Amino acid sequence: MLLLFAIPALYVGNQACSECHAEIYQRYSTSPMALSSGRELPALRTGAFRHAASKVSYAIDAKGLVTLSKGKHSEQRQLRYYFGSGVAGRSFGFVRDGFLFEAPVTWYSQTGVWDVSPGYASDTASRWSRPIEPSCLFCHASQTRWREGTLNAYAEPVFTQDGIGCERCHGPGSLHIAGEGKMVNPAKLAPERRDGVCAQCHLTGQSRVVRAGRRMVDYRPGDLLTDFVAHLVPVEQGGFQVNSHVEKLAASACKRAAGNKMWCGSCHDAHAVPAPAEKVAWFRAKCLNCHQASTCARGPDCAGCHMPKDKASDAGGHGVFTDHSIPRTAASRVGLQDVAGKWKLRGWSAADAGDRELGLAYAEAGVRTGDRHQQAEAIRLLSSATQDAEVQTRLGDLQERAGKPEQAVALYRGALRNDPGAVVALVNLGRLYGSGGALDAAIRLWREALKRNPCLAEAGTNLQIALRAKGDEAGAEAVRRGQAFCVFE
Ligand code: HEC
Ligand code: HEC
Ligand code: HEC
Ligand code: HEC
Ligand code: HEC
Ligand code: HEC
Ligand code: HEC
């Protein structure tokens, strides 16, 4: 008997599709998704600015060389990768010793200026220490080369397919290009699998929690997204700040009435964006696939009135600009109400279930907002969940906040048995050991943490203090030098 083993298809990159699908390849290559990241910097507009809070001056040249200066002190840093096609803005990656960080400078295309990146405005120093983790690359780049066990180390180049590759929506293509397999066509999938193709990047919810033992990079078009990740949102429907396109569309009267007939592909061509002069007619035609022109004779620009634009947010391009809740009138817009006092979370869909995932989302929200209800609910749910490293680390952190360091120590130890690279557990357990006088144990943990991300400020500072306390000046100085690039002041 002949045994056939299914050989999984591998990623081959966009170039391999160009020969047979030349027209789509050409069209897609200029779309914002194709240009959402790159290994080669385009020629940049030169610029200079002084950041008030840190008193650091920045000058950026056409090749992405950044000159930092403050008083007589001056240094240069090279921008290496870009993120964002530039519709709203463009951020940059900076590499040091194989670790990838977000640069503190961003190009804001709508205003045509360079300034500090979103979230850096009130910093009193120039920080080059924000790690670019695999989750960021997942949405903006393809075929990434993360070094397992670290937070933000990669083989160079960090990704081998710029932007959103064809295969992110169609599945790996090695068998298909050899004439041995069909590609996934999202439009032909069952609705929940179809919607997952776009939702893998366009649904954020309040939290997205990767399921135990799963990795987002293993998701393939055609899979159920909810097998890989759960999305958690506030319980109060409509009474919250919806912040992704999938959530907003789901709130629309169109989607609620049309159901599975409506999806992102009802209005968008995933391969191209209509030219400015064609936009009104393009979207009108999409509306008229479901509506009669006579229903509303107020003009041809249906989307202009029913999908108004929000002011460009300063959240680094994140957040919906075009209102996908398709309001009847401006007054009936949803999603902008206050959320004070509404602390309960739920799965985005019935399939976004799981006590572990809900508990991790409560922990994330509770730590961010300081909400006691959320923290208590997180402890309740996570205590009865299977104890994997992520659950133990979160629970440890919550127990520490609740004033129970002994429980926290046990949980962090458990986390490190399950995952010796759990960075938060390394840093926090080190701190608990250090404050209990166990300096050698603390030093060992902090060194391990810094191997996974050399810019961890707390671990670096504490490690220097501990080494000095042991009389190891040279060791402390080496740690200080190793972190010198993380901040310029
Ligand atoms: C050697 C020529 C060739 C290459 C290279 C090629 N394709 Fe195709 N592709 C075809 C042919 C022929 C069909 C129609 C038959 C079929 O569906 O397999 C097709 C169909 C498709 C379909 C439609 C499937 C459906 O069911 O509607 C998609 C999507 C697709 N290709 C994507 C890709 C992508 C992405 C790449 C690059 C990774 C690629 N193709 C590379 C020849 C090619
Ligand atoms: C869950 C997916 C996701 C993650 C994670 C993510 N982004 Fe985005 N990003 C998007 C989407 C989708 C857009 C398009 C606008 C929108 O929908 O908000 C976007 C827009 C942007 C833009 C503006 C693009 C433009 O052309 O105007 C920049 C810059 C950007 N992201 C940088 C980053 C960086 C840097 C990270 C990681 C540190 C990151 N993003 C993490 C999905 C993501
Ligand atoms: C963001 C997701 C996405 C990306 C990226 C993407 N596609 Fe598609 N593609 C789709 C969707 C959705 C459809 C179905 C369109 C429909 O029929 O409504 C499709 C349809 C197709 C088809 C079959 C239908 C046709 O028009 O011939 C081919 C072939 C194809 N894509 C090739 C490619 C190639 C080659 C690339 C990269 C150059 C690419 N796609 C990038 C989402 C994507
Ligand atoms: C791998 C992640 C990923 C997937 C999958 C994905 N997108 Fe995107 N999409 C993005 C990012 C990131 C941007 C922002 C691009 C930029 O400007 O840098 C974006 C931008 C867009 C835009 C805005 C283009 C513009 O006009 O600026 C549309 C529309 C869009 N996506 C639709 C879709 C649809 C429809 C699907 C599913 C068929 C899909 N996307 C799948 C990540 C993704
Ligand atoms: C897939 C089908 C579909 C598409 C595409 C679609 N709609 Fe709808 N829409 C519906 C259905 C069904 C309803 C509910 C019944 C009705 O009011 O006609 C609806 C309702 C509405 C309403 C009433 C909202 C309210 O709160 O009462 C407006 C306004 C609207 N659509 C505008 C648009 C615009 C503008 C477009 C294009 C940008 C569009 N729709 C595209 C199916 C669709
Ligand atoms: C009823 C039509 C319609 C549907 C359905 C729709 N969009 Fe859009 N979308 C638009 C319009 C109109 C724009 C504005 C285009 C422009 O002005 O360039 C837009 C813009 C966008 C943008 C650019 C950023 C912004 O907010 O302006 C992204 C990203 C996007 N849509 C993603 C999606 C995703 C993901 C889905 C599915 C969950 C989806 N859209 C479903 C009509 C639609
Ligand atoms: C100049 C702004 C404007 C334009 C352009 C426009 N609408 Fe409207 N639309 C409105 C207003 C205002 C209402 C009525 C709201 C009310 O009085 O409740 C409305 C109502 C509607 C309704 C609800 C009708 C009902 O009786 O329930 C639909 C559906 C709709 N529009 C679809 C469209 C479509 C499709 C287009 C494009 C062909 C379009 N609109 C163009 C402003 C506009």
Q: What is the pLDDT along the chain (489 residues), one digit of tens a residue?
A: 455 566 789 999 999 999 999 999 999 999 999 999 999 999 999 999 999 999 999 999 999 999 999 999 999 999 999 999 998 889 999 999 999 999 999 999 888 999 999 999 999 999 999 999 999 999 999 999 999 999 999 999 999 999 999 999 999 999 999 999 999 999 999 999 999 999 999 998 889 999 999 999 999 999 999 999 999 998 865 444 567 899 999 989 999 999 999 999 999 999 999 999 999 999 999 999 999 999 999 999 999 999 998 764 445 556 668 889 999 887 766 544 444 457 899 999 999 999 999 999 999 999 998 999 999 999 999 999 999 999 999 999 999 999 999 999 999 999 999 999 999 999 999 999 999 999 999 999 999 999 999 999 999 999 999 999 999 999 999 999 999 999 999
d(CA 465, CA 441): 14
Q: How far is the CA of 343 from the centre of ligand 2 (A)?
A: 26
d(CA 248, CA 82): 28
Whether the bond into 32 is cis, omega within 30 of 0: no
The answer, yes or no, to whether any atom of ligand 1 lies below 6 A from the CB of 24, is no
Q: How far is the CA of 298 from the centre of ligand 7 (A)?
A: 7
Q: How far is the CA of 281 from the centre of ligand 5 (A)?
A: 16
The answer, yes or no, to whether any atom of ligand 7 lies below 6 A from the CB of 295, is yes
Q: How far is the CA of 129 from the centre of ligand 4 (A)?
A: 27
The answer, yes or no, to whether any atom of ligand 5 lies below 6 A from the CB of 257, is yes
d(CA 403, CA 425): 17
The answer, yes or no, to whether any atom of ligand 4 lies below 6 A from the CB of 91, is no
Q: Which atom of ligand 6 is nearest to the CA of 309?
A: 27
| Ligand 4 pocket, mutate which of 107, 162, 201 (most atoms under 8 A from CB) | 201
pTM of the predicted model as reported, rounded to 2 decimal places: 0.96
The answer, yes or no, to whether any atom of ligand 7 lies below 6 A from the CB of 287, is yes
Closest Cα partner for 223 from 244, 199, 203?
Answer: 199
Q: Hey, which residues does 243 pair with through a beta bridge?
A: none
Classify the phi-psi angles of 163: left when phi > 0, otherwise alpha if psi is within -120 to 50, otherwise beta.
left
The answer, yes or no, to whether any atom of ligand 7 lies below 6 A from the CB of 189, is no
The answer, yes or no, to whether any atom of ligand 4 lies below 6 A from the CB of 36, is yes
The answer, yes or no, to whether any atom of ligand 6 lies below 6 A from the CB of 283, is yes
The answer, yes or no, to whether any atom of ligand 3 lies below 6 A from the CB of 168, is yes
* Beta strand 37-38 pairing with 154-161: unpaired
Q: How far is the CA of 20 from the centre of ligand 6 (A)?
A: 29
pLDDT of residue 234: 86
d(CA 85, CA 119): 20
Q: How far is the CA of 335 from the centre of ligand 2 (A)?
A: 20
The answer, yes or no, to whether any atom of ligand 1 lies below 6 A from the CB of 167, is yes
Q: Which two tokens stand for residue 391?
A: 């659950």
pLDDT of residue 1: 46
Ligand nearest to the CA of 165: 3
The answer, yes or no, to whether any atom of ligand 5 lies below 6 A from the CB of 328, is yes
pLDDT of residue 195: 98
Closest residue by Cα to atom 19, ligand 5, is 254
Closest residue by Cα to atom 1, ligand 2, is 201
Q: What is the 3-state secondary structure (H, E, C) of the chain?
A: CCCCCCCCCCCCCCHHHHCCCHHHHHHHHCCCCCCCEECCCCCCCCEEEEECCCCEEEEECCCCEEEEEECCEEEEEECCEEECCCCCEEEEEEEECCEEEECCEEEECCCCEEEECCCCCCCCCEECCEECCHHHHHHHCEEEEECCCCCCEEEEEEEEECCCCCHHHHCCCHHHHCCCCCCCCHHHCCHHHHHHHHHHHHCCCCEEEECCCCCHHHCCECECHHHCEEEEEECCCCCCCCCCHHHHHHCCHHHHHHHHHCCHHHCCECCECCCHHHHHHHHHHHHCCCCCHHHCCCCCCHHHHHCCECCCCCCCCCCCCECCCCCCCHHHCCCCCCCCCCCCEEECCCCCCCHHHHHHHHHHHHHHHCCHHHHHHHHHHHHCCCCCHHHHHHHHHHHHHCCCHHHHHHHHHHHHHHCCCCHHHHHHHHHHHHHCCCHHHHHHHHHHHHHHCCCCHHHHHHHHHHHHHCCCHHHHHHHHHHCHHHEEC
| Ligand 3 pocket, mutate which of 27, 138, 169 (most atoms under 8 A from CB) | 169
The answer, yes or no, to whether any atom of ligand 7 lies below 6 A from the CB of 281, is no
Q: How far is the CA of 152 from the centre of ligand 2 (A)?
A: 17
The answer, yes or no, to whether any atom of ligand 3 lies below 6 A from the CB of 154, is no
Q: How far is the CA of 168 from the centre of ligand 5 (A)?
A: 30
The answer, yes or no, to whether any atom of ligand 4 lies below 6 A from the CB of 198, is yes
Ligand nearest to the CA of 140: 4
Closest Cα partner for 13 from 23, 30, 4, 25?
Answer: 25
Which residue has tokens 């999305």? 231
pLDDT of residue 242: 60
Q: Which atom of ligand 6 is nearest to the CA of 254?
A: 1
The answer, yes or no, to whether any atom of ligand 6 lies below 6 A from the CB of 303, is yes
Total length of the chain: 489
The answer, yes or no, to whether any atom of ligand 2 lies below 6 A from the CB of 9, is no
Amino acid identity of residue 284, one-letter, is: R
Closest Cα partner for 90 from 49, 154, 43, 146?
Answer: 43
The answer, yes or no, to whether any atom of ligand 4 lies below 6 A from the CB of 264, is yes
